[in-house]
Amino acid sequence: MNKPRETFGSRIGMLLAMAGSAIGLGNIWRFPYTLGQNGGAAFLLLYVIMLVIICLPVMISEYLLGRRGASNPFRTFDNLAPGSKWRWIGSVAVLASACILSFYCVVGGWSFKYLFEACTGGLMSYQGSYADFFGAFISNPWKPLLYTLLFLGLTGLIIAFGVRKGIERMSKIMITLLFVIIVLVVIRSLSLPGAGQGVRYMFVPDFSKVTANTCVAAMGQAFFSLSIGCGCILTYASYVHKDENIAASSGWIAFFDTSFAVIAGLAIIPAVYAIAQMNGVDPDVSAGPGLVFITLPGVFKSMPLGGVAALLFFLALMLAAITSAISLMEVVVAYVIEELKRSRLHAVLICFLLCGGVGVFCSLSFGPLDGFKLFGLSVFDFFDYITSNIMLPVGGLLLAVFAGWRLKRANYLDELTNGGKLNIPRWLCLTIYYLVKFVAPLAILLIFINCILS
């Protein structure tokens, strides 16, 4: 039964798998519209501050705990603090991943549908408004379900091949392709006349839009985008070699992820501005979740070579979604394999049924179930809100508290420097440690309190 644990085959494979987890719908679908709703550059600035003082230290800690504990989230906490209640935090992380996957696969399904339509030419030849196109699709009781389950099935298929042959190999191929495609789309977008307005919008801050809610939104977005607080980084880190430089790898992943979000913004926002100017209407970049699925197809349709750009864009969206979905599913699968002693295939099946089952309700909340509300939110919005804005930051808070207060300082620093083998300046190690111990937990708490009081 005790087969040796799988590991990543190479450093670059590990980095791309982790970057694949981080780079996803959060960057291409969620980031541009959240930016649009929260004052453009002001939000970006806030996002970067949150990233440096909260998210990067939490990410380093999640990585560190994962490598040290070398197991699924539940067992990791049990290994590091035997018999304590902390392992339940691990179980909550597994639950959070399952909840995210349940609504993530719905949007993954939409990308699948749009990719399909872009391939067959159905998207560009559509004559009506794209709001109707999108609305008719997501409110249909069957079609989105089919795409959601197809997306989840594809994710499961990759996971079934294991860490090296499934996750690592596919992440390498998909992330490389993704970068090439998005750069092509950015070039197309920026070369449109009038695109400069959109670029200005992204980089010139409007602080009048910043409220307590903006801070929660920026924090939630940073947690969501970096895949931290729900055991994904922890689980991937458990497959990492003991000689990896944790701080450097985390820094690289955060850098890739943020750059990618900005690049995705540059692929979308300037194009929306340019086409709006061409058609003599006001640009609408705060269109919410519909930005990518409603506004963008119209933008592609109006621009030269738009059909190719649409195809590449939705391919990129789909690739990004899959590499993130596999990291979410792997958290649940690793847990089922190791704690419930099932085979990998069996675990994939259980996860498919579980997340697919909840996913069905998330998907139906745009159609037959749209009158059904949980705390005033549709099932889909409820899962999106509680996971990104509550479960992930609370998960991050607990991870930081565990790493800063339960793990001994000597052990933290020892793991960070690989037992003193790495030449990381002492001041840097201590800065990371104190950010984890004091700054990150306090900042998360303050943001929550500020939001509750306002």
**Given the rule CB under 6 A, which residues bind ligand PHE?**
21-22, 24-27, 100, 224-225, 227, 230, 232, 324, 327-328
In the bound state with ligand PHE, the residue whose beta carbon lies nearer, of 195 and 228, is: 228
Contact status, residue 148 vs residue 109, Cβ threshold 8 Å? yes
Q: Which is nearer to ligand PHE, 276 or 397 (CB)?
A: 397
To the nearest 10°, the Cα dihedral for 66, 71, 77, 78? Answer: -150
Q: How far is the CB of 100 from ligand PHE (least distance, A)?
A: 5
Comparing CB distances to ligand PHE, the nearer of 175 and 429 is 175
- State which residue, 328 or 400, has the beta carbon closest to ligand PHE: 328
| Least Å from the CB of residue 431 to ligand PHE | 25
**Closest to ligand PHE by CB, 27 or 102:** 27
In whole angstroms, the minimum distance from the beta carbon of 271 to ligand PHE comes to 21
Place of tokens 């900005």: 262
Q: Which residues contact 323 (CB under 8 A, 6 or more apart)?
A: 17, 20, 21, 23, 24, 170, 171, 174, 175, 178
Which residues 6+ apart lie within 8 Å of 308 measured at CB? none
**C-beta of residue 381 within 8 angstroms of C-beta of residue 288:** no
Secondary structure of 5-21 as H, E, C letters: CCCCCCHHHHHHHHHHH
Contact 439, 51 (CB under 8 A): no
Query: Smallest distance, Å, CB 279 to ligand PHE?
Result: 31
CB of 86 to ligand PHE, least distance (A): 20
In the complex with ligand PHE, the residue whose CB is nearer, 78 or 384, is 384
Cβ distance to ligand PHE smaller for residue 225 or 389: 225
Question: Measured from the CB atom, is 328 or 358 closer to ligand PHE?
Answer: 328
Q: How far is the CB of 30 from ligand PHE (least distance, A)?
A: 7
Q: How far is the CB of 386 from ligand PHE (least distance, A)?
A: 13
To ligand PHE, the closest distance from the beta carbon of 200 in angstroms equals 26
CB 340 within 8 A of CB 148: no
Distance CA 59, CA 233 (A): 8
Q: How far is the CB of 454 from ligand PHE (least distance, A)?
A: 26
Q: List C-alpha distances in Å: 290 to 131, 298, 321.
A: 8, 12, 16
Supply the minimum distance, in Å, between the C-beta of residue 390 and ligand PHE.
13
Report the residue number, 21 or 249, with the smaller CB distance to ligand PHE.
Answer: 21
Q: Which residue is listed with tokens 């197309």?
A: 188
- Round to whole Å and give the CA distance between 387 and 384: 6
Determine what percent of the chain falls in helix, strand and coil, rounding each to the nearest 5: 80, 0, 20
Residues in a beta bridge with 374: 377
Instruction: Tally the C-alpha atoms within 13 A of residue 300's C-alpha that lie toward its C-beta.
Output: 28
Give the C-alpha distances (Å, rounded to integers) separating 240 from 1, 62, 63, 77, 118.
Answer: 21, 13, 9, 17, 38
Q: Residue 160: what residue type?
A: A
DSSP H or E stretch at residue 426: helix 426-434
* CA 85/CA 171 separation, integer angstroms: 34
Judged by beta carbon, residue 275 or residue 400, the one nearer ligand PHE is 400
CB of 38 within 8 A of CB of 189? no
The tokens describing 451, both together, are 């939001």
Helix (H) or strand (E) holding 49: helix 41-50
Identify which of residues 229 and 404 has a Cβ nearer to ligand PHE in the complex. 229
To ligand PHE, the closest distance from the beta carbon of 91 in angstroms equals: 16
